[in-house]
Amino acid sequence: MKHLTLIRHGKSSWDCTSLQDFERPLNARGWRDSPRMADLFAQYEFLPDQWVSSHATRALTTARIFAHHLQVAVESICVSEAVYETDAGSLLEFLQAQFPSARHIVMFGHNPGMEDLAQSLCPEFVQSMPTCAIAQFAMKIKSWKDLAPGCAALVRYDYPKKFG
């Protein structure tokens, strides 16, 4: 049994137009929602042994906030450009190839790739992935190489507006 948690980055700022997209920071709502969702995530039954984040500032900041709240060393986060601006197929291939010994991977990334990956792995997952949403899946697979469309069951789905 493997677990995968997909977390979309917190709400980002568009205030500084001179920044490139991957440099955009969290805005005030992102800074408010990320710790709240991290505290909720800390209460989940299945916690990750492998942390992965896009190299984009907003995703990596969100990952670091979650790591801090779960008392995980931020140095243990695998930062990868492969998680930034990519599609579900590329994310699937990345997960299949990168972390063979992981039991539970948490990945911090972006839409539309995260949402498309969630819906590919679990066709019953018809929800959107708003900023700072958490979608956790269980898969009856022995190896990440076996990760495939339709193989996942939704365990939890939470997002900031669900809690007001």
Percent of the chain topping pLDDT 70: 100
**Domain residue extents for the chain:** 2-163
Looking only at the bridges linking them, the beta strands covering 134-139 and 152-158 are antiparallel
Q: What is the token pair recorded at 59?
A: 């995703």
Reported pTM: 0.96
For residue range 68-97, what is the model confidence (pLDDT) as tens digits? 999 999 999 999 999 998 999 999 999 999
Q: Which CATH superfamily is domain 2-163 in?
A: Phosphoglycerate mutase-like (3.40.50.1240)
Q: How many degrees, rounded to 5, is the angle at CA 112 between CA 109 and CA 113?
A: 55
Provide the pLDDT confidence category of residue 46 given band limits of 50, 70 and 90: confident
43: CB partners within 8 A, 6+ apart? none
